[in-house]
Amino acid sequence: MRNSSLFFLYLSGGILLLGLLLVHASFSEKAGRENLEEKAALVKTLQLTDLCLFTEARYTRHLSQADLNTAFQDHPLSLEHFPSGSFTQPPERIIARP
């Protein structure tokens, strides 16, 4: 078998796999939506407030309850050593506006 035949066989297999993944996603979307609606009803019933986004540091678990200095609790000039701190923006109250 030529190398080009192997390449096209590999490419067609990848396209077939991608198509199957898209079909699976479209079928499972309905079940996922029902599950999400059940969870939303549970949150509304229990009156849950903050969402725990990250599990690393206490100042990234609940962003609304963190103070401004908790990221620098080890040393005033210490760098952020948890990767989750780079995924979130600072609260709007401390962003400088021109």
Q: What is the pLDDT along the chain (98 residues), one digit of tens a residue?
A: 789 999 999 999 999 999 999 999 988 887 788 888 888 898 889 887 766 667 776 666 666 666 666 556 666 666 666 777 667 766 666 566 65
Number of folded domains that form the chain: 2
Q: Which pLDDT score is estimated for 85?
A: 67
CB 64 within 8 A of CB 52: no
Note down the domain range covering 80. 58-94
96 vs 37: CA distance, rounded Å: 38
5 vs 74: CA distance, rounded Å: 60
Indicate yes or no: pTM above 0.75: no
Please indicate, yes or no, whether residues 42 and 20 belong to a single structural domain of this protein: yes
Please indicate, yes or no, whether residues 7 and 42 belong to a single structural domain of this protein: yes
Please indicate, yes or no, whether residues 44 and 6 belong to a single structural domain of this protein: yes
